[in-house]
Amino acid sequence: MITPPAIAWTLLALVALLWFVLWHRKFWSHHRATPRLGRARVGPGAPFVTVCVPARDEERYVGAAVRSLIAQDYPRFRVVVANDRSTDGTAAILDGIARDADPARLTVLHVPEPPEGWMGKCHALHRAVAAAPPETEFYLFTDADVIHRPDTLSRSVAQMMEERADLFAISPRVQCVGAWENALLPLFMHLGVIQIDPRHLNDPERKEIVGIGAFTLIRRSMYESWGGHRRIRGETIDDMAMGLLTKRAGGRLLLVRGGAAVRLRMYTSLQGIIAGFEKNMHTAVGGGWDRAIGGAIFFPLAHASPAIVAIAAALCGAWPLALAALALHAACAAVLVARTRHYLAIRPALVAIMYPAGALLAAYILLLSTYHARQRGVVRWRGREIKRPRQMTKLS
């Protein structure tokens, strides 16, 4: 007869195998295969870049983000910010910056409500592209909460041209301040690195793709060849959709680690985290209740089960099992911190305490996202609820 302690010991063994054997090699091989942002900068004859920024209700960071862009030391560029009907102080902040900035360096658009079938971000970027100068050769798509070092664009274009890439994405440094940020973001970052092997980004037989909302630089000719944002107007993971279509078009993808060159704080509250990931988690797992339920089971088993077993065993007085489970939880937390500190500015103590709760939260968000997508057929984001178009981008 199989007893609860036997089940618990087996579960702990499987978690240890997953963390320290299966995931260990994948994470570090993918991490080491991802190059750092180069140090070289562009020389004379640099291509003209239009930086396209969508902004909706970003008053907390948009001022610093836009100022960091117009302060780039790149010789030929323009920043186009599309204010997507913000309901806070974003519009006033952007208009204030525009009054003081060189009009040849910054354009601020106030775009109308997106047409039916368009995600607001995709519509805003579509309008920003339409306002780009005719001499534009590259588009940089970046978010309104991202801070860039002054040399980031110059180094990026230089590396992209040297590697002859058609789409160039930078993995940013994400600031994790609050408890829930440290609970959830390390888990998602860890999973993302495990899933994407940069050595296969340009293998047409493999599914790996890349595109990052914080920094995706793409050649105009490639962007136009597959139809631009009109082609991906309904995508909730629009950055990855750009990578998918670029790869399908035979373009070359390149992912680099940016360190402090590109940094942001994604979310500042639990409500913001839930809303942010609810928008696209259904798409990320490939759609359907089967995958959603599978993911909602996997996350707690892989990440929260040692802590749950430790508490349950302690309450039952099974101290050897409780101590073993607690030790495994501590080891997994230490490994999670060691791996994700290369990408996130984390608080190790909060990660160790909170990441099991983050796994439970991930399961909840995944089920919530699937409910709204499959049962109600809508996407909710930034105060909007739109009918969900069919998605082309699936990450698993």
Predicted local confidence at residue 283, as pLDDT = 76
Predicted local confidence at residue 380, as pLDDT = 65
pTM for the structure as a whole: 0.93
Predicted local confidence at residue 52, as pLDDT = 98
- More confident site: 279 or 81: 81
Q: Is the pLDDT of residue 396 over 60?
A: no
Q: Report CA-CA distances (Å) from 298 to 178, 358, 360.
A: 25, 13, 10
Predicted local confidence at residue 140, as pLDDT = 98
Q: What is the pLDDT of residues 253-306, one digit of tens each?
A: 999 999 999 999 999 899 999 988 888 887 777 778 888 899 999 999 999 999
Predicted local confidence at residue 334, as pLDDT = 97
Residue located via tokens 């008053």:
59
Predicted local confidence at residue 276, as pLDDT = 87
Q: Is the pLDDT of residue 391 over 80?
A: no
Report the range of poorest mean pLDDT among 75-84, 90-99, 270-279, 375-384.
Answer: 375-384
Q: What is the mean pLDDT of the chain?
A: 93
**Residue 90 binned pLDDT confidence (cut-offs 50, 70, 90):** very high
Query: Is 49-173+197-265 assigned to CATH 3.90.550.10?
Result: yes
**Residue 221 binned pLDDT confidence (cut-offs 50, 70, 90):** very high
What is the CB-side half-sphere exposure of residue 60 using CA atoms within 13 A? 10
Predicted local confidence at residue 288, as pLDDT = 80
Q: What is the pLDDT of residues 153-198, one digit of tens each?
A: 999 999 999 999 999 999 999 999 999 999 999 999 999 999 999 9
Nearest-CA neighbor of 210 among 182, 246, 249?
Answer: 246
Q: What is the pLDDT of residues 105-155, one digit of tens each?
A: 999 999 999 998 898 999 999 999 999 999 999 999 999 999 999 999 999
List every span in the chain annotated with CATH 3.90.550.10.
Answer: 49-173+197-265
Encoding tokens for residue 258? 């940016």
Q: Is the pLDDT of residue 385 over 90?
A: no
Predicted local confidence at residue 182, as pLDDT = 97
Q: Is the pLDDT of residue 393 over 80?
A: no
Predicted local confidence at residue 382, as pLDDT = 64
pLDDT more than 90, % of the chain? 82
Q: What is the pLDDT of residues 26-53, one digit of tens each?
A: 999 999 999 999 999 998 889 999 999 9
Q: Is the pLDDT of residue 384 over 80?
A: no
Long-range contacts of 87-94 (CB under 8 A, 24+ apart): 87/57, 87/383, 88/57, 88/58, 88/59, 89/59, 90/55, 90/56, 90/57, 90/58, 90/59, 90/62, 90/144, 93/59, 93/62, 93/63, 94/55, 94/62, 94/66
Query: Looking at residues 231-260, what average pLDDT do you find?
Result: 95
